[in-house]
């Protein structure tokens, strides 16, 4: 990459004179998740309401059985602490909008331009601005500390890989719950059916008994399809974006470590960004 | 590849004297998608019509519940902007017939022959003809700008890989919707069944109530099997063709960059083209 | 591989004196496919016949809906021309018994022995005998034309890979149809059930109406399980054999190109042939 | 591996003085398969017997339809000869208990110790004892014949890979049959249901007709779950063990070829053996 | 890694003066598994109890058929000894809480610091403290015995790989049982239904007969969803943790073998530990 050494530094635009404006992460609340969930629940509630007699859909023992049963069996599959500890990570990942890939790319380009103008060691002054991005901060710290580039790359790749595995485990808990809920619903319905079939001599009770028997299947289907599966998909999608952002940070850190021309970095970053998120840092 | 240097240039046919006729992409409308969809819908409509009483198949609340529910839950799984932004890409990919692999191969062979006759730098004059193919244009620009071949290959491969991942996400939205629709249908049917079972004392109402309960399952099955799954398959298939075309462009760009004999490029391209689409540029 | 140079050529058996008897491919008709299909259909027909009243199983609108619907939706998933063009390839692959791996191995060993005795260039005279095997012919042509071995290997591997992908697409069409047919059957049955439930006041009509409603499910199950899925499996299996034959041709071409001792080639080929198809060319 | 040369040979225990006791393979009959199958069938038979009226479970046309239909469709998916030829391999693999990995490890260690004491060429005298293990015999023959180690490794790996693929095909036939059987059962039940629904005017006949209709589903479920799927799992498990044994033989042959210290081989073999099957050949 | 040689050893904290406190593994009983199982069973029992008539849920022949049938068929799929021998491993893995990754990391860091201060050979005195960790003990023994690092790494990787495969087999037995149990339930229900349909002339008996028929489905669903599948998931999760711990041990052993600075090891270990389990051995 020695071909970048003799490029005129004055080709940088005036942008690089302003301090690195690494804005705090726009951690907006991701309304889509909440609104979608509420919308789906309201739709089902409306369908129930319109049929009159909505009390027929509430059977506390059935609700307890499906919810507690799903929780108990999911706990068996993992462990108490895992299910509990997964909660904050899960809620944060679900409702907090993460770093967008194009913002991450801009941030990395600013850093790269700075590093090229002022030298790698001067980057220490910018570290406070990176507090919101611990991953990028760790990458820059390793570079400034003089760790060999190959080792920096290995450590960052290890960390990303381990993060992906942890995300998979969180998703796994949700997917497992989505398998368990309909199964508990089926078991509840079978219990109800056997009880009903043993009392066929009371024709009036058959209908309501069967309705109650079906309720657990209904609860299980709603829990799996309206709550667990959508959240698992969301988690996977957010994880994919976070991996992309980390990939951008790795590319940036390696480029800074190799003291490449930031314009080249921009070109590379644009190849992995979607067409409508491509960045133009240099005119 | 120095063994290509001493081949007589006069072995090129007269074809290379005419200017590079890189015709605009034949972006015909892909009628198959639309006709197939309409055909399937008409078949179902006919089956309903023949049974008389077609009004029994229209229940606005059920329709709203399945359609809106599918939309809400799919939105939870992804994000509002993603579902909305995926629309234009999706419609374009679905209904616009893309570049055929054999046309792409011919285009690349014309370019390669030109580049060999007139030199790489002279290719700048042809760039306006490549406007319809941004990917190929980017590849040629990088070559003419003197970027090292390995880096050109890396950038193009990165970009193709990122494109494949974006296509997978679009397909994922459709596949997710195809999972959600029958689930919403099942939930709707369970709601209807529980309501019906609570009112078994009106024997006349049982039939129609059950018919209405089944309608959401019907809507969900039609949405998943007639709309979402076929479109997802189509998207995957179009993505596969676009990847093949990009692969042809990569092979062409590398061949031009290495200044290989275009006849060798033709041989290589024909190995990856289906038997009935093999090209014969040099007779 | 220079250790093969000083082996006595007289160790070759007298076999190599006779001309290369590369017999035309025994392209027998693969009766198993047809007989199996007919057998399965006859079994179902017999089951229907024995129940008397076989006319109850024929409902032209239902048949049209399932068959045409399956065709329409499969067309959406791919494209008109693809579904049509896949037909000849499909029928040929299904009903024509291909080259057996052991015959291919013998053919390659004959060629290798010849090439070693008379030299590579003399192989041009044998090309007419290879007309039935275009893949092997292309491999030999590239060798005789003096293409570097690595490039020959790359081209052959590319071509095999592309062939495998095309076979996968043909299989994909059949597998897709096998998914669509039961879905259309389910949709037809739902239509029938809703119609029936709206007319419960005619008790005599319930049975026949429900029978008709079930017919689409029946047609869909037969189409998927008796026709599409078995043919898809057959296609996959034939594709696997063709890939094995191509693998044998690649190994043979490379061995000829490296001018290895054909006995060594025999040893290698026997490692990838099943125990009961091992060849003994050199006794 | 030159660091093994100066180790004192007298460190070998007295064991190596006795001739290589490569006992004949303990090819006991694997009763588990047969007993399990018989047990499961007896359980179902008992359940039928206890319900009285066991003749209701025998319907020859239904039996013929499911069995012959499964055979016909499985034949379409593969080929006549394949299904027939797969039989002996299948029965042997299913009922004959193969070489245990720890016995194979002991055998290989004995061979390695011998080869180190007496030299590789002296191993020819032991070949008769290896007759029961053709794979190991082939490996030793190639070594004694002076084939380069890399080529020995390549050939053995090729052969193991091809064997794994053939086993997969046998398993595939069984898995395919396990898919076909319930499908034929479903088709038979649909035929029965349609026939029954056309004759609802004979109320007495409804029950028995429906019972007969359900029989094909019952036969299909039993065939798939009691016969085909367990045998497929068994085949896969036996194939995994045979692959492990072959892996042990490859490691042994390479170690002998490299003239390594057999103690090192023991260490390596123990890393791939389960904890309760670790071998202790040297004191 | 020679760049670590000139770092001042006095940078080590006072911690390294105390003996390596490798505490015995905290092998607490993993209550979560047991409590979850009991909770789920109690929930189902409560649902049955509340419906009165709980005797209707106990049918000894049905219980025997599902339990014994599942056992018999699972035995066919594997082998008698495998199913029996898998028990202790399974119970230990399920109920004994293994080494936590952060404890393993601390242990490895202590060892690494010791080895750096006192030299590798002095580590022999610490071996008694490692008795609880046979894997780590084996790794250290190989290092102290002077085996080349590459060979140590190969052996450890082999062993971890073989362990993962054995865990997969145990999980496979449970997953297989989870497939078989509902299948046996379905077969039992089909038997019951056919028997019931043959005796429709006793209207009073229909309900109870059908209830009994449904019981096998109920048993199968409970066995699969409450017992086998959760245990299989737990086994997979525990296996993943054990693999992570082994990975930490491999990294530690290689670091000790290369005589790297333990601070670097800490950095690397922290990249693969979850954020809330990161270790700080060196302040």
- Interval C201-214: pLDDT, tens: 777 778 888 888 89
Distance CA(E177)–CA(E73), nearest Å, equals 8
Q: What SS3 state is found at E209?
A: helix
Q: What SS3 state is found at E29?
A: strand
A–B CB contacts, 8 A cutoff, strictly below: 127
| Partner-chain contact E199 D47, CB within 8 Å | no
| Partner-chain contact E43 A194, CB within 8 Å | no
Predicted pLDDT at A93: 67
Chains that touch C (3 or more CB pairs under 8 A): B, D
Q: Is the pLDDT of residue A2 over 50?
A: no
Distance CA(D105)–CA(D269), nearest Å, equals 7
Q: What SS3 state is found at E258?
A: coil
Distance CA(A282)–CA(B233), nearest Å, equals 40
Q: What is the end-to-end Cα distance of chain D in Å, rounded?
A: 23
Which residues of chain B have a pLDDT value below 50? 1-21, 24-25
Under 8 Å CB-to-CB from E136, ≥6 apart: which residues? E107, E108, E111, E130, E249, E252, E253
Cβ contacts (< 8 Å) between B32 and chain C: which residues? 75-76, 78-80
Q: What SS3 state is found at A29?
A: strand
Chains that touch A (3 or more CB pairs under 8 A): B, E
Cβ contacts (< 8 Å) between E63 and chain D: which residues? none
Largest CA distance in chain E: 95
Q: Crossing angle, helix D149-197 and helix D80-95, to 10 degrees? A: 110
Predicted pLDDT at E100: 84
Q: Which of the pair, D222 or C126, is modelled with greater confidence?
A: D222
Strand partners, C128: none
Distance CA(C172)–CA(C82), nearest Å, equals 11
Which residues of chain E have a pLDDT value below 50? 1-21, 24-25
Please check whether residue C7 lies inside any domain of the structure: no
Q: Which residues of E touch D (CB under 8 A)?
A: 61-62, 64-65, 68-69, 72-73, 75-80, 82, 85, 148, 155-156, 158-159, 161-162, 166, 169, 176, 179-180, 183-184, 186-188, 190-195, 197-201
Distance CA(A270)–CA(A268), nearest Å, equals 5
Predicted pLDDT at D207: 81
Predicted pLDDT at A28: 62
Instruction: Report the phi/psi class of residue A26: left, alpha or beta, with left for phi > 0 and alpha for psi in -120 to 50.
Output: beta
| Partner-chain contact B218 C180, CB within 8 Å | no
pLDDT in tens, C7-49: 333 334 444 444 444 554 455 667 778 888 899 999 999 988 8
Whether residue E145 contacts residue E253, with contact meaning beta carbons closer than 8 Å, is answered with: no
Whether residue E275 contacts residue E189, with contact meaning beta carbons closer than 8 Å, is answered with: no
Predicted pLDDT at C3: 40
| Partner-chain contact D44 E187, CB within 8 Å | yes
Average pLDDT, chain C: 82
Predicted pLDDT at D166: 80
Neighbours of D279 (CB within 10 A): 17
The Cα of E13 is separated from the nearest Cα of chain D by a number of Å equal to 37
Which residues of chain D have a pLDDT value below 50? 1-21, 24-25
Please spell the DSSP secondary structure of D136-192, one letter per residue.
HHHHHHHHHTT--HHHHHHHHHHHHHHHHHHHHHHHHHHHHHHHHHHHHHHHHHHHH
Q: Is the pLDDT of residue C228 over 70?
A: yes
Distance CA(D239)–CA(D167), nearest Å, equals 7
Please check whether residue C184 lies inside any domain of the structure: yes
Please check whether residue E110 lies inside any domain of the structure: yes
Cβ contacts (< 8 Å) between D179 and chain C: which residues? 229
Exposed (0-12), middle (13-18) or buried (19+): which is B178, by Cβ within 10 Å?
Answer: buried
Based on the structure, what is the number of domains in chain D?
Answer: 1
The Cα of A160 is separated from the nearest Cα of chain B by a number of Å equal to 18
* Integer-rounded Cα radius of gyration of chain B: 27
Note whether A touches B: 3 CB pairs or more under 8 A.
Answer: yes
The CB-side HSE value for B225 (13 A sphere, CA atoms) comes to 30
Distance CA(B3)–CA(B260), nearest Å, equals 9
Cβ contacts (< 8 Å) between D215 and chain E: which residues? 194
Cβ contacts (< 8 Å) between E209 and chain D: which residues? none
Predicted pLDDT at E13: 43
Q: What residue in C sits closest to D173 (Cα-Cα)?
A: C233
Q: What residue in C sits closest to D159 (Cα-Cα)?
A: C271
Distances (CA, A) of D94 to D80, D98, E77: 21, 9, 10
Distance CA(B27)–CA(E191), nearest Å, equals 60
Q: Which of A215, C176, E156 is nearest to B225 (CA)?
A: C176
Cβ contacts (< 8 Å) between B64 and chain A: which residues? 43
Neighbours of D28 (CB within 10 A): 10
| Partner-chain contact D217 E190, CB within 8 Å | yes
Q: What residue in E sits closest to D235 (Cα-Cα)?
A: E77
Whether residue D238 contacts residue D99, with contact meaning beta carbons closer than 8 Å, is answered with: no
Distance CA(C212)–CA(C60), nearest Å, equals 11
Distance CA(B20)–CA(E247), nearest Å, equals 58
Please check whether residue C46 lies inside any domain of the structure: no
Cβ contacts (< 8 Å) between E191 and chain D: which residues? 44, 47-48, 51, 57, 218
Distance CA(D274)–CA(E166), nearest Å, equals 7
| Partner-chain contact D195 C51, CB within 8 Å | yes
| Partner-chain contact E225 A183, CB within 8 Å | yes
Structural domain that includes position C240: 59-277
The Cα of B148 is separated from the nearest Cα of chain A by a number of Å equal to 10
Chains that touch B (3 or more CB pairs under 8 A): A, C
Chains that touch E (3 or more CB pairs under 8 A): A, D
Q: Which of the residues C59, C72, C160, C213 would you substitute to probe the B interface, choosing the one with the greatest number of B C-beta atoms within 10 Å?
A: C72
Q: What SS3 state is found at A11?
A: helix
| Partner-chain contact B191 A57, CB within 8 Å | yes
Whether residue E201 contacts residue E209, with contact meaning beta carbons closer than 8 Å, is answered with: no
Please check whether residue A24 lies inside any domain of the structure: no
Distance CA(C77)–CA(B94), nearest Å, equals 10
B–C CB contacts, 8 A cutoff, strictly below: 126
Under 8 Å CB-to-CB from B75, ≥6 apart: which residues? A32, A35, A36, A39, B83
Distances (CA, A) of C122 to C117, C139, C143: 10, 15, 12
Distance CA(B274)–CA(B100), nearest Å, equals 12
Please check whether residue B25 lies inside any domain of the structure: no
Note whether D touches E: 3 CB pairs or more under 8 A.
Answer: yes
Cβ contacts (< 8 Å) between E258 and chain A: which residues? none
| Partner-chain contact A234 B75, CB within 8 Å | no
Q: Which of E91, E98, E129 is nearest to E27 (CA)?
A: E98
Q: Which of B77, B159, B193 lies nearest to residue A234, judging by beta carbons?
A: B77
Distance CA(C253)–CA(C140), nearest Å, equals 7
Rounded to the nearest 10°, the torsion over CA E211, E213, E215, E216 is: 180
N residues, chain D = 283
Please check whether residue E283 lies inside any domain of the structure: no
pLDDT in tens, C261-271: 888 898 888 88
Distance CA(A246)–CA(A167), nearest Å, equals 14
Q: Is the pLDDT of residue C76 over 90?
A: no
Under 8 Å CB-to-CB from A148, ≥6 apart: which residues? E3
Q: Which of A72, A159, A194 lies nearest to residue E43, judging by beta carbons?
A: A72
Under 8 Å CB-to-CB from A258, ≥6 apart: which residues? A1, A149
3-state DSSP percent of chain B in helix, strand and coil, to 5? 80, 0, 20
Predicted pLDDT at A11: 38
Distance CA(C32)–CA(C85), nearest Å, equals 24
Predicted pLDDT at B184: 95
pLDDT in tens, A32-80: 788 888 999 999 999 888 877 788 898 888 999 999 999 999 888 887 7
| Partner-chain contact A73 E226, CB within 8 Å | yes
What does pTM read for this prediction? 0.85
Please check whether residue A181 lies inside any domain of the structure: yes
Please give the DSSP secondary-structure letter assigned to residue C78. S
Cβ contacts (< 8 Å) between C209 and chain B: which residues? none
| Partner-chain contact D158 C268, CB within 8 Å | yes
The Cα of E7 is separated from the nearest Cα of chain A by a number of Å equal to 14
| Partner-chain contact D214 E64, CB within 8 Å | no
Distance CA(E99)–CA(E238), nearest Å, equals 10
Q: Which of the residues C90, C271, C275, C276 would you substitute to probe the D interface, choosing the one with the greatest number of D C-beta atoms within 10 Å?
A: C271
Q: Which of D32, D214, D274 lies nearest to residue E190, judging by beta carbons?
A: D214
Chains that touch D (3 or more CB pairs under 8 A): C, E
Distance CA(D90)–CA(D164), nearest Å, equals 14
Cβ contacts (< 8 Å) between D235 and chain E: which residues? none
| Partner-chain contact C162 B276, CB within 8 Å | no
Cβ contacts (< 8 Å) between B234 and chain C: which residues? 76-78
Exposed (0-12), middle (13-18) or buried (19+): which is C57, by Cβ within 10 Å?
Answer: buried
Cβ contacts (< 8 Å) between A75 and chain E: which residues? 32, 35-36
Whether residue C211 contacts residue D194, with contact meaning beta carbons closer than 8 Å, is answered with: yes
Q: What residue in E sits closest to A72 (Cα-Cα)?
A: E36
Q: Which of E68, E148, E155 lies nearest to residue D271, judging by beta carbons?
A: E155
Predicted pLDDT at D183: 96
| Partner-chain contact A155 E230, CB within 8 Å | no
């Amino acid at each position: 990459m020695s071909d970048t050494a003799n490029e005129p530094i004055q080709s940088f635009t005036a942008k690089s004179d302003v301090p690195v404006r690494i804005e705090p992460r726009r951690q907006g609340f991701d309304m889509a998740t909440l609104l979608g969930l509420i919308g789906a629940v309201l739709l089902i509630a409306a369908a129930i309401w319109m049929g009159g007699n909505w009390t027929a859909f509430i059977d506390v023992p059935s609700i307890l059985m499906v919810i507690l049963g799903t929780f108990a069996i999911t706990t068996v599959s993992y462990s108490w602490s895992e299910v509990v500890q997964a909660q904050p990570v899960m809620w944060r990942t679900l409702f907090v909008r993460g770093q967008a890939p194009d913002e991450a790319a801009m941030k990395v380009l600013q850093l790269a331009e700075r590093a090229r103008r002022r030298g790698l060691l001067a980057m220490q002054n910018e570290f406070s601005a990176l507090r919101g991005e611990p991953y990028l901060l760790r990458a820059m710290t390793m570079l400034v500390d003089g760790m060999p580039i190959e080792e920096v790359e290995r450590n960052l790749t290890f960390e990303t890989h381990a993060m992906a595995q942890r995300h998979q485990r969180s998703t796994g808990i949700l997917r497992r719950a989505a398998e368990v809920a309909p199964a508990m619903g089926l078991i509840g319905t079978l219990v109800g059916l056997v009880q009903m079939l043993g009392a066929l001599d009371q024709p009036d009770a058959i209908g309501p008994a069967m309705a109650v028997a079906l309720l657990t299947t209904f609860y299980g289907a709603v829990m799996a399809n309206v709550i667990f599966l959508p959240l698992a998909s969301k988690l996977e999608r957010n994880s994919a974006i976070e991996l992309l952002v980390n990939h951008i940070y790795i590319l940036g850190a390696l480029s800074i470590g190799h003291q490449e021309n930031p314009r080249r970095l921009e070109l590379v970053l644009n190849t992995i960004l979607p067409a409508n998120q491509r960045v133009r840092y240099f005119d």
